[in-house]
């Protein structure tokens, strides 16, 4: 399944055998993954799974009776309960029995999302009687791109999140900001929370800098991935107030104040529009290239700022095609959410694809993990998206003077596949009785 989270899990499956750990992967089949998650399937990813890793496919029951559909709908509306795991539970428990009878399992590792799989982890821990490691790749109850139906639904999600945090023997988060959010949900988890970031697999250490040459007639600025923004709930003025929503949305509840329009190219489009108006000779200097399924609001957004004539929509690309897309760009756009009274907690995995391709990054980023990574790694330049004058000035400087940044290789070593897998391997060995913290990959 071609999604950002898959890359993290696949990387661990590939590298853990180097540390004497054999992964047994329990997941749905590629066909069911496409049905359940609506993601495109990239079969080449399966070829990267090493021979040491064993794989069991859960059977997903797609057919439902009318009564079951009605019950599922009511449970979703009233209790924010997804029936996805219910359709897999029997198959999952059968697989657990097979695994238990055939192997001596030392630990269970759960990666979320999908968050409904917390139920599978609780069952696995109970039946196998082994430690549980929970990898929180994203915020659950504190995710803020869209609201909960009501405070009641939010409280139910918090209860489930606390349950899995309590059951876990170790909790892994991708950024310190996300770790702090999990501690806020369940303070007793503080001592078992670890930070293991996303990682890159390829980085030429002899390549010590990244640069953008000045003087080109046209610069291609690329962006890959999704935005998780919905104009139904938010616009440039902020979260849509309850009295401007349809009646059935009046009870919507936000646990945090997060502005996901900042994750979109909105503020880049605004700066590009101002550059073109203020400096007519630069009107055709920049092209924006987007790889992904462009939502309708993105096209409207580009038209709103009169930059649609310099936008190119490439559609969905496979992992291999996406690499070629990045190679063809001059600079890559990076964006981040804005958390009011807090910090952005997401570090996009595509940031490492940009580093591997040695492409400079133009960050329209708010305070938090993404901004911090760009600055500390030396991978590009950043702008305050709220400061339109600064954003325009940066675009002008890039075109006139280019940019050159020296990579912070010591800092980037913390984000290598070996380094991050070593941290996970240490957690596994410590939980299973091995206290050696100085392991090296075989």
What is the CATH number for 43?
3.40.50.2000
Whether residues 218 and 89 fall in one domain: no
Is 19 inside a domain boundary?
Answer: yes
> Mean pLDDT throughout 143-151?
92
> Mean pLDDT throughout 343-372?
93
Closest CA to 58 of 81, 82, 35: 35
Is 233 inside a domain boundary?
Answer: no
> How many CB atoms within 10 Å of residue 84?
18
Whether residues 58 and 125 fall in one domain: yes
- What is the Cα–Cα distance from 405 to 358, expressed in whole angstroms? 11
437 pLDDT band, cuts 50/70/90, is: very low
Of the candidate ranges 191-205, 246-260, 390-404, the one whose mean pLDDT is the lowest: 191-205
**Residues 376, 272, 319, CA angle at the centre, nearest 5°?**
60
- End-to-end distance of the chain based on CA atoms, in angstroms? 29
Structural domain for 354, as ranges:
209-227+264-409
Is 258 inside a domain boundary?
Answer: no
Whether residues 53 and 180 fall in one domain: yes
Domain count of the fold of the chain: 2
Whether residues 18 and 146 fall in one domain: yes
Tokens of 82: 């997804």
Q: Could you give the angle at which helices 118-128 and 151-167 cross, rounded to 10 degrees?
A: 30
Tokens of 442: 């075989």
Is 378 inside a domain boundary?
Answer: yes
Is 389 inside a domain boundary?
Answer: yes
SS3 342: coil
Whether residues 195 and 216 fall in one domain: no
Whether residues 190 and 45 fall in one domain: yes
Whether residues 154 and 25 fall in one domain: yes
Whether 93 and 59 have beta carbons less than 8 Å apart is answered as no
Q: Which residues are bridge partners to 364 per DSSP?
A: 335, 383
Express each pLDDT in 31-80 by its tens digit: 888 778 777 777 778 888 888 888 899 888 877 777 777 777 777 787 77
Whether residues 364 and 335 fall in one domain: yes
- What is the Cα–Cα distance from 176 to 226, expressed in whole angstroms? 23
Is 244 inside a domain boundary?
Answer: no
Give me the pLDDT at residue 435, please: 54
SS3 308: helix
Percent of the chain residues topping a pLDDT of 90: 73
pTM score over 0.75 = yes
Whether residues 323 and 296 fall in one domain: yes
Closest CA to 415 of 343, 348, 336: 348
Whether 210 and 404 have beta carbons less than 8 Å apart is answered as yes
Is 86 inside a domain boundary?
Answer: yes
Tokens of 345: 């907690």
Whether residues 157 and 125 fall in one domain: yes
Whether residues 420 and 271 fall in one domain: no
pLDDT at residue 143 above 60? Answer: yes
Q: What is the largest CA-CA distance in the chain?
A: 72
Strand ranges, E, within 297-422: 311-315, 331-335, 338-339, 361-364, 380-383, 403-406
Altogether, the residues listed in the chain come to a count of 442
Q: Which residue, chain included where needed, has tokens 């409207």? A: 300
> Mean pLDDT throughout 412-425?
94
Q: Which residues are bridge partners to 234 per DSSP?
A: 239
pLDDT at residue 387 above 70? Answer: yes
Is 275 inside a domain boundary?
Answer: yes
Whether residues 269 and 400 fall in one domain: yes
């Amino acid at each position: 399944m071609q999604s950002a989270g898959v890359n993290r899990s696949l990387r661990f499956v590939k590298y853990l055998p180097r540390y004497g750990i054999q992964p047994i992967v329990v997941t749905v089949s590629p066909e069911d993954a496409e049905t359940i998650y609506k993601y495109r399937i990239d079969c080449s990813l399966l070829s990267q799974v090493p021979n040491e890793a064993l794989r069991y496919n859960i059977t997903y029951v797609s057919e439902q009776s009318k009564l079951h559909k009605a019950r599922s709908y009511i449970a979703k509306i009233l209790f924010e309960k997804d029936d996805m795991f219910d359709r897999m539970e029997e198959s999952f428990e059968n697989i657990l029995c097979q695994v238990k009878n055939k192997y001596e399992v030392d630990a269970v590792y759960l990666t979320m999302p999908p968050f409904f799989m917390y139920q599978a982890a609780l069952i696995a821990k109970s039946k196998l009687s082994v430690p549980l490691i929970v990898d929180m790749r994203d915020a659950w109850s504190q995710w803020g791109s869209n609201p909960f139906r009501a405070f009641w639904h939010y409280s139910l999600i918090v209860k489930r999140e606390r349950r899995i945090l309590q059951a876990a023997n170790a909790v892994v988060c991708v950024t310190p900001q996300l770790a702090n959010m999990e501690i806020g949900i369940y303070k007793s988890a503080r001592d078992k929370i670890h930070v293991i970031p996303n990682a890159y697999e390829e980085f030429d250490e002899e390549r010590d800098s990244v640069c953008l040459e000045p003087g080109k007639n046209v610069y291609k600025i690329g962006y890959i991935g999704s935005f998780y923004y919905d104009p139904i709930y938010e616009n440039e003025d902020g979260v849509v107030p309850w009295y401007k929503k349809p009646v059935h949305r009046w009870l919507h509840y936000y646990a945090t104040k997060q502005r996901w329009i900042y994750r979109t190219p909105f503020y880049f489009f605004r700066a590009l529009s101002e550059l073109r108006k203020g400096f007519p000779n630069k009107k055709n200097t920049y092209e924006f290239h987007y790889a992904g399924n462009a939502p309708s609001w993105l096209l409207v957004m580009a038209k709103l700022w009169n930059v649609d004539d310099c936008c190119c929509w490439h559609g969905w690309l496979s992992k291999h095609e996406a690499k070629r897309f990045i190679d063809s760009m001059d600079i890559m756009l990076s964006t981040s959410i804005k958390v009011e009274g807090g910090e952005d907690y997401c570090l996009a995995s595509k940031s490492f694809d940009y580093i591997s391709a040695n492409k400079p990054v133009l960050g329209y980023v708010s305070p938090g993990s993404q901004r911090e990574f760009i600055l500390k790694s030396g991978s590009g330049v950043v702008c305050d998206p709220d400061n339109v004058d600064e954003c325009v000035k940066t675009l002008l400087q890039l075109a006139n003077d280019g940019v050159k940044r020296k990579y912070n290789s010591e800092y980037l070593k913390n984000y290598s596949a070996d380094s991050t897998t070593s941290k996970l391997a240490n957690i596994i060995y410590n939980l299973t009785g091995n206290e050696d913290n100085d392991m090296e990959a075989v």
